[in-house]
Amino acid sequence: MYQSSLISKTRKQISQSEESLNAQILIKAGFVDQVMAGVYAYLPLGYRVIQNIEKIVREELAAISAQEILLPALQPKSYWEKTGRWDNLDVLYRFTSYYTNTELALGSTHEEIITPLAQNLIQSYQDLPLAAYQIQTKFRDEKRAKSGLLRGREFIMKDLYSFHSNSEDLDAYYDIVIQAYINIYKRLGLGDKTLKTYASGGSFSKYSHEFQTLSDIGEDTIFVCEKCNIAINQEIIDEQNTCPECGNSDLIEKKAIEVGNIFKLQTKYSDAFGLEFTDDKGQNKPVIMGCYGIGISRLMGTIVEIFAENNAKMLWPAEISPFDTHIIVLNTDSAEVKNKAEELYQQYQKNGKSVLFDSRDERPGVKFADADLIGIPERIIISKKSLEQNGVEINGVIIPFEKIYKF
């Protein structure tokens, strides 16, 4: 049973505007609502999708021994000054407290917070390695928010940080994270289209890696090696114009959405904060760090871009669909149909299935249209007609009750 005010009445008419596809679909179907440029509210359907994506991420990170934490979004100026990014990170929201005149930042990333925190946790090589992540709202003062959920000023991100006593250990964990990421994209239904991509390493390593989902609306240009199924970001193509893994020079230019990136930070942040540990010889050394990001809300937008059918309606991959099953009750004036529907709904819930139960007193066309918009992959219709055959209709096929109730 659902609250119609939150789910069924959030449908918005959308103009034949130039808004990006993911924004159009998600707003029209009532998954999100736009609050301002690059800032969205997640409504019940959309938030369930977000939570399903998060669940997959959590499961895969638990499998590689990362522990979940939650760091503050509100951050002191002093930490950002230590790394020099108070003045240099142009997307950092900075502001002054109205009452105390204190200058503060809204977190656009969390190296500046987790590194000093790690100082409290790490003294000895025996405290390493350590991996911690959070799923949290990030703030970035983008000059131009665009493409719906793909580039917002406020967005949900998973950021993982790892701490090691030497670079070999970092390298090994880095590869483990790559495999976890591959698992995540696969479970999200993006496996075939998401490529590990070599990108600029910045000042602290030769390369970083991104995960890029092929899509014409992507902001990034990558060059794909079809032999290795990896890619190179355009930003490093001058210095690296062959496949780094097989040497192939026959690379194919494509557009893609960056859905993850991982860096070997080495000692950049531990140096800035003096994060050291004592090794087994009694010597103090800087902690070696890595960081690993996945944009959760951007993934939702990406999935819509990839799975929208005929550029109009959505069909969610089963694992992240807002509900497992959409039960649509027709002929709601019939007590028999209503009772049977209620029974079916209870049965599904008992068996651990999440159900969107539409018993509204609406015409069939309204319910079907809404169901099309919402895009839950399993649709069950129960009606006078189906009861005549002593069953329900599941995705167009009549299934007798005795088969369903067994599961």
Partner RNA sequence: CGGGAAGUGGCGCAAUGGCUAGCGCACCUGGUUUGGGACCAGGGGGCUGCAGGUUCGAGUCCUGUCUUCCCGACCA
The answer to whether residue 385 forms part of the interface with RNA (CB under 7 A) is yes
Cα-Cα-Cα-Cα dihedral sign, residues 96, 99, 101, 102:
negative
Q: d(Cα 195, Cα 182) in Å, to the nearest integer?
A: 9
Residue with tokens 């808004």, as numbered in its chain = 19
Per the CB < 8 A criterion, the answer to whether 49 and 315 are in contact is no
In this structure, which amino acid lies at residue 216?
Answer: D
**One residue of 103, 324, 362, 378 binding RNA per CB under 7 A:** 362
**One residue of 51, 134, 278, 332 binding RNA per CB under 7 A:** 332
Restricted to residues 269-328, the positions that interact with RNA (CB under 7 A) are: 291
The answer to whether residue 10 forms part of the interface with RNA (CB under 7 A) is no
Per the CB < 8 A criterion, the answer to whether 106 and 75 are in contact is yes
Q: What Cα–Cα distance (Å) separates residue 36 from each residue in 51, 138, 153, 333, 350? A: 23, 16, 9, 42, 40
Size of site (CB under 7 A) for RNA: 61
At 233, give phi and psi (nearest 5°): -70, 140
In this structure, which amino acid lies at residue 327?
Answer: I
Which of 165, 261 has the CB closer to RNA?
A: 261
Write down the least CB distance from residue 227 to RNA, Å.
26
The answer to whether residue 386 forms part of the interface with RNA (CB under 7 A) is yes
**One residue of 16, 101, 120, 311 binding RNA per CB under 7 A:** 16
Which of 17, 310 has the CB closer to RNA?
A: 17
Write down the least CB distance from residue 70 to RNA, Å.
21
Which of 23, 214 has the CB closer to RNA?
A: 23
Which of 56, 328 has the CB closer to RNA?
A: 328
The answer to whether residue 260 forms part of the interface with RNA (CB under 7 A) is no
**One residue of 279, 372, 399, 404 binding RNA per CB under 7 A:** 372
Q: d(Cα 224, Cα 239) in Å, to the nearest integer?
A: 16
Which of 166, 332 has the CB closer to RNA?
A: 332
Close Cβ partners of 34 (under 8 Å, ≥ 6 residues apart): 23, 27, 40, 41
The answer to whether residue 253 forms part of the interface with RNA (CB under 7 A) is no
Which of 186, 255 has the CB closer to RNA?
A: 255
Which of 164, 187 has the CB closer to RNA?
A: 164
Give the distance, in angstroms, between the CA of residue 266 and the centroid of all CA atoms in the same chain: 26
Restricted to residues 177-206, the positions that interact with RNA (CB under 7 A) are: 200-205
Give the distance, in angstroms, between the CA of residue 309 and the centroid of all CA atoms in the same chain: 21
Q: d(Cα 324, Cα 354) in Å, to the nearest integer?
A: 5
The answer to whether residue 365 forms part of the interface with RNA (CB under 7 A) is yes
**One residue of 369, 377, 378, 404 binding RNA per CB under 7 A:** 369
Restricted to residues 114-153, the positions that interact with RNA (CB under 7 A) are: 142-148, 151
Judge residue 96's burial from the number of C-beta atoms within 10 Å of its C-beta, 0-12 exposed, 13-18 middle, 19 or more buried: exposed
Q: Smallest Cα–Cα separation from 385: which of 320, 318, 340, 325?
A: 340
The answer to whether residue 373 forms part of the interface with RNA (CB under 7 A) is yes
Write down the least CB distance from residue 316 to RNA, Å.
17
Q: d(Cα 291, Cα 369) in Å, to the nearest integer?
A: 44
Q: d(Cα 401, Cα 311) in Å, to the nearest integer?
A: 36
Q: d(Cα 320, Cα 311) in Å, to the nearest integer?
A: 20
The answer to whether residue 20 forms part of the interface with RNA (CB under 7 A) is yes
Write down the least CB distance from residue 380 to RNA, Å.
10
Q: Is the peptide bond before 129 cis (omega within 30 degrees of 0)?
A: yes
The answer to whether residue 18 forms part of the interface with RNA (CB under 7 A) is yes
Write down the least CB distance from residue 207 to RNA, Å.
9
**Residues 249-259: b if buried by 16+ CB within 10 A, e if exposed:** eebeebebbbb
The answer to whether residue 41 forms part of the interface with RNA (CB under 7 A) is no
**One residue of 239, 280, 333, 402 binding RNA per CB under 7 A:** 333
Q: Smallest Cα–Cα separation from 130: which of 145, 141, 119?
A: 119
The residue ranges that bind RNA (CB under 7 A) are 9, 11-20, 23, 34, 36-38, 89-91, 109, 142-148, 151, 200-205, 208, 219, 263, 265, 291, 330-333, 361-366, 368-373, 381, 383-386, 393
